[in-house]
Structure 1
């Protein structure tokens, strides 16, 4: 098996996560986080649709991390994001972080909106 190290030329990667926080590109974000290829910031959670709506035209898919376990996305959030033409992939936050990192290394137009574990 061949192993290849992932490199991030311009992307902002998840470095790690833990109880209540995410470390992104060397900076700690307490609580929910919204990460794109160019920025990482605190996010207001599922009710903060404005932050996700602002990604229209910038991203094709948002990975929605629901916390330690997978759960259904709130219906209003799913409907609004899909209405904007953005794909929504719902998964546990650890899986969202890993998936984001792999696709970010490829330069894909993605974002991750994640709840802490």
Structure 2
């Protein structure tokens, strides 16, 4: 078996999560969180489209974690993200975090918006 060290560039990996929190890059964040090439911080949740559309042009794919279970995005938010030219992948937050970490380790231009489990 061959092991390779992973370098995450400026973006931080998701290291863990639990009821109401995420641990990203060694720091704990309560509630919804947004992480990507611009850093990590609180996110206003599904009503905060501006924070997500600001990523247009800087990323290729936005992963949206909808909590413990997969759910559809509100139609208005979906439309705003598509009009901004963002590629969107919606899944449960645990799956979104794992997928984000894998693609981050490959050096992809991605971001992650998570609702707590």
Q: Please confirm whether the aligned pair reaches a TM-score higher than 0.5, indicating the same fold.
A: yes
> Which deviates more from structure 2 when the two are superposed, residues 21-30 or residues 4-13?
4-13
2:97 aligns with 97
Could you tell me which residue of structure 2 aligns to residue 85 of structure 1? 85
Gaps of 5+ in 2: none
Residue matched to 2:18:
18
* CA distance in 1: counterparts of 2:37 and 2:17, whole angstroms: 18
1:45-96 deviation line (CA, Å, top 9, x unaligned): 0000110011011111110100000011111111111111111100000000
TM-score normalised by the chain length of structure 2:
0.93
Q: Tell whether the 8 Å contact from 2:34 to 2:41 is kept in structure 1 after alignment.
A: yes
1:37 deviation in Å?
Answer: 3.3
For structure 1, list consecutive stretches of 5 or more residues without a partner in the other structure: none
- Go from structure 1 to structure 2 and tell me whether the alpha carbon gap of 1:74 and 1:59 turns closer, same or farther (over 3 Å shift): same
CA distance in 2, matches of 1:49, 1:105: 26
What's the offset of the Cα at 1:3?
6.0
Root-mean-square deviation (Å):
1.3
Length-normalised TM-score, structure 1: 0.93
